[in-house]
């Protein structure tokens, strides 16, 4: 076998040499770059340093006098003060539980959609940020550092497309992160997007594969992104502008999304854990300080506005609070930081998360006024929730705005995960209702897909009371007859291949073990494929409310491969694949290994475990 392989490799090398003589004439330089052809064993993934070394060469103009935050020591060391253990997240699927034929078939269909998209990217947009899925060319949208390639790395690994993974990983480790230098004149990068997509993607690919070159690349990029914190108050601006950075001229913004600085913590912390680089953890620790100090002083005490003033802690005065776009992952990362840090975690993440969620429950959640014949799989009237917006008026009166957003659909998973981690099953129930709300909204449109933004007629009263009675008069007065009851309007009818709805179904499936959630996911998947598929791949569409063929927008953002298809694949996979007890996913669905020093196995869990839903199928439950 060994000899065989070696001979084959020799032959391949000889052939490759011969071909390169024949084919690599100067004219070949004109054509767009082509991916290398995968051969035999995986190539060794080699690290190619960028032409600028950010850690040693970039001067800090506003250095920190000393580190204020250090990674928590392991809980068993004498210096540590371990906090309460976190509860296990996943439903107790019996050992040896395997998906059945139907689930395998579904999972395979998802993989096929991924392979189709990936193949088209390779053929038509290799090394570009994105593929244009209708016209078939590459787009530069995030600095030209192959966003789709990096974003897809861990999905390739998870879907067991290992040869493709190594090919892509090798290419990723050649990327030159030297912006703002003579070599690369990119003038600025989006700190948030580059952190969640590129840094998150490289870290997860390393955490899964153990290929060291990927960690080296991540560390290099971390050095570049760390320069964004070189401001007088050490809070980062939205744009990392390299010319300003060189002169020490970066300043925190005065009206920038709260999700921006709020969702760097997970990536910087994981990179700090892997490299021992405490400066990374300190940098985001100071951002958490900022949010902690301002949480109780906002117009809606407990939540942060969508845009904040990072210079004086003030907020924009539009008075709108939401867990949707601009703010979303700020909330998501509070509970996920606890998951990542485990037992040594600072206690404030739980406190801040619960403080905010209490306000979401009080002012944002609402029930759509559903008709009586809208029933769930056991024949009861559907009891679903949405997270809308709260608008604070002069004098402090709070108005609940019953608007739904695709971006806000992650909230179900967030409630579920935080509730389970912190041992409060009431949040878990809310999470499931939110997840089911978005799945219901998918089914409410002719394409079977939910739009970006819409408004619903809500029930009056407290959402804790369960479904309300449908009010025909109200519908006649306020409803939109062209839409399904009880929709009032669709403000943005596009679907951009977004993941948040399937994300929440996936997390709630892993938490509750309820198979119905897989069925909802399958309906969604089929609709998404049907309405977005192009000859080459899949595309954003302009209007989910059309009957018949949809209009394609020639856009396939990298999250389609990083998130949407990964979540669809995982919900139909054996539940120990990316178990939520071992991994925590960043807001771009990149899994980071949860710090093992903080990981509590079921065996040594000292408190009562969360109530277990009915055991899977007929198999005997196994006592942990």
Ligand X SMILES: *[C@@H]1O[C@H](CO)[C@@H](O)[C@H](O)[C@H]1NC(C)=O
User: Among 9-17, 140-148, 290-298, 320-328, which window interacts with ligand X (CB under 6 A)?
Assistant: 290-298
Site stretch for ligand X (CB under 6 A), options 51-59, 289-297, 514-522, 543-551? 289-297
13 burial (CB, 10 Å; 0-12 / 13-18 / 19+) is: exposed
Task: State whether residue 66 is helix, strand or coil.
Answer: coil
CB of 420 to ligand X, least distance (A): 22
Q: What share of the chain is helix, strand, coil (3-state, %, to 5)?
A: 45, 10, 45
Tell me the closest approach of the beta carbon of residue 161 to ligand X, in angstroms: 23
Pick between residue 185 and residue 296 the one whose CB is nearest to ligand X.
296
Active site residue 328: yes
Identify the active-site residue in 193, 471, 492, 582. Answer: 193
Would you count residue 296 as binding ligand X (CB under 6 A)? yes
Point out the catalytic residue in the list 130, 154, 328, 588: 328
Q: How many residues does the chain have?
A: 624
Exposure of 322 by Cβ count < 10 A (0-12 exposed, 13-18 middle, 19+ buried)?
buried
Active site residue 462: no
Tell me whether residue 523 is one of the annotated catalytic residues.
Answer: no
Least distance (Å) between residue 520 CB and ligand X: 22
Q: Which residues 6+ apart lie within 8 Å of 181 measured at CB?
A: 51, 52, 242
* SS3 state at 283: helix
Catalytic annotation, pick one of 500, 563, 581, 588: 500
454 backbone dihedrals φ, ψ, rounded to 5°: -155, 165
**Short-list 208, 213, 218, 196, CA closest to 151:** 196
Catalytic residue flag (residue 500): yes
Q: Which stretch binds ligand X (CB under 6 A): 44-52, 156-164, 233-241, 291-299?
A: 291-299
Sequence-ordered list of residues with C-beta below 8 angstroms from that of 272, at least 6 positions apart, any chain: 71, 278, 279, 280, 281
Of residues 107-136, those binding ligand X (CB under 6 A):
none
Query: Which tokens sit at 556?
Result: 């396939």
Residues within window 565-624 making contact with ligand X, judged by CB under 6 A: none
Q: Using CB under 6 A, which of the segments 60-68, 108-116, 292-300, 552-560 binds ligand X?
A: 292-300
The CA distance from 527 to 134, in Å, is 19
Residue 371 burial (CB count, 10 A)? 16
Q: Give the interface size with ligand X as a residue count (CB under 6 A).
A: 6
Structure tokens at 170: 């090798």
316 binds ligand X (CB under 6 A): no
> In the complex, what is the shortest distance from the CB of residue 104 to ligand X, in angstroms, rounded to a whole number?
8
Q: Which is nearer to ligand X, 46 or 351 (CB)?
A: 351
Residue 351 binds ligand X, judged by CB under 6 A: yes
Residue 587 marked as a ligand binder: yes
Choosing from 292, 362, 424, 582, the residue that interacts with ligand X (CB under 6 A) is: 292
Among all chains, which residue has been given the structure tokens 């705005």? 401
Residues 482-501 that bind ligand X (CB under 6 A): none
Local structure of residue 375 (DSSP, 8 states): B
Q: Per CB under 6 A, does 98 bind ligand X?
A: no
Q: Nearest-CA neighbor of 472 among 486, 462, 456?
A: 486
Instruction: State the residues that interact with ligand X by CB under 6 A.
Output: 101, 292, 295-296, 351, 355
- Per the annotation, binding residues for Ca(2+) are 587
Q: Which residues are known catalytic residues?
A: 193, 328, 452, 500
């Amino acid at each position: 076998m060994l000899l065989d392989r070696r001979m084959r490799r020799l032959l391949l090398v000889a052939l490759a040499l011969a071909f390169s003589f024949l084919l690599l004439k100067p004219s070949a330089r004109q054509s767009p770059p082509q991916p290398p052809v995968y051969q035999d064993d995986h190539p060794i993934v080699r690290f190619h340093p960028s032409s600028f070394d950010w850690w040693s060469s970039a001067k800090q103009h506003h250095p920190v006098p000393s580190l204020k935050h250090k990674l928590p020591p392991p809980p068993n060391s004498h210096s540590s003060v371990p906090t309460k253990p976190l509860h296990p997240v996943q439903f107790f699927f019996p050992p040896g539980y395997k998906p059945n034929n139907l689930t395998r078939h579904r999972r395979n269909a998802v993989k096929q959609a991924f392979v189709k998209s990936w193949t088209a990217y390779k053929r038509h947009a290799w090394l570009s940020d994105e593929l244009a899925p209708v016209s078939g060319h590459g787009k530069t949208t995030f600095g030209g550092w192959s966003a789709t390639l990096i974003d897809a790395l861990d999905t390739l690994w998870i879907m067991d497309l290992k040869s493709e993974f190594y090919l892509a990983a090798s290419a990723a480790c050649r990327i030159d992160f030297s912006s703002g230098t003579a070599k690369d004149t990119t003038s600025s990068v989006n700190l948030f997007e580059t952190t969640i997509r590129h840094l998150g993607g490289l870290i997860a690919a390393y955490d899964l594969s153990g290929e060291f070159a990927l960690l080296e690349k991540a560390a290099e990029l971390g050095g570049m992104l760390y320069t964004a914190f070189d401001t007088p108050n050490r809070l980062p601006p939205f744009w990392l502008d390299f010319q300003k950075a060189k002169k020490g001229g970066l300043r925190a913004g005065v009206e920038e999304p709260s999700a921006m600085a709020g969702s760097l913590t997970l990536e910087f912390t994981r990179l700090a854990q892997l490299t021992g680089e405490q400066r990374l953890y300190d940098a985001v620790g100071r951002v958490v300080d900022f949010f902690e100090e301002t949480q109780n002083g906002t117009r809606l005490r407990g939540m942060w506005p969508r845009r904040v003033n990072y210079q004086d802690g003030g907020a924009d005065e539009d008075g709108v609070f939401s867990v949707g776009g601009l703010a979303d992952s700020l909330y998501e990362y509070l509970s996920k930081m606890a998951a990542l840090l485990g037992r040594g975690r600072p206690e404030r993440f739980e406190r801040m998360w619960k403080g905010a969620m209490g306000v979401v429950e009080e002012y944002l959640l609402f029930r759509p006024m559903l008709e009586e014949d809208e029933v769930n799989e056991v024949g009861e009237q559907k009891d679903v929730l949405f997270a809308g917006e709260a608008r604070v008026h002069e004098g402090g009166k709070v108005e609940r705005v019953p608007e739904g957003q695709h971006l806000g659909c992650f909230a179900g998973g967030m409630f579920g995960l935080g509730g389970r981690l912190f041992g409060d099953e009431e949040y878990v129930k809310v999470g499931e209702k939110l997840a089911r709300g978005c799945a219901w909204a998918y089914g409410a449109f002719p394409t079977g897909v939910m739009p970006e933004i819409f408004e619903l007629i809500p029930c009056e009263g407290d959402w804790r009371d369960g479904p309300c009675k449908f009010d025909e008069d109200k519908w006649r007065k306020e409803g939109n007859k062209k839409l399904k009851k009880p929709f009032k309007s669709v403000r943005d009818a596009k679907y951009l291949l977004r993941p948040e709805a399937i994300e929440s179904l996936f997390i709630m499936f892993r938490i509750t073990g309820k198979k119905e959630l897989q069925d909802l996911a399958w309906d969604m998947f089929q609709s998404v494929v049907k309405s977005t598929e192009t000859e080459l791949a899949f595309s954003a569409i302009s209007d989910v409310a059309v009957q018949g063929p949809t209009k394609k927008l020639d856009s396939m953002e990298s999250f389609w491969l990083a998130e949407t298809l990964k979540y669809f694949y995982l919900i139909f996979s054996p539940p120990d694949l990316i178990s939520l007890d071992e991994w925590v996913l960043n807001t771009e669905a990149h899994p980071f290994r949860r710090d093992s020093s903080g990981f509590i196995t079921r065996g040594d869990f000292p408190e009562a475990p969360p109530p277990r839903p009915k055991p899977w199928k007929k198999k005997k439950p196994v006592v942990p």
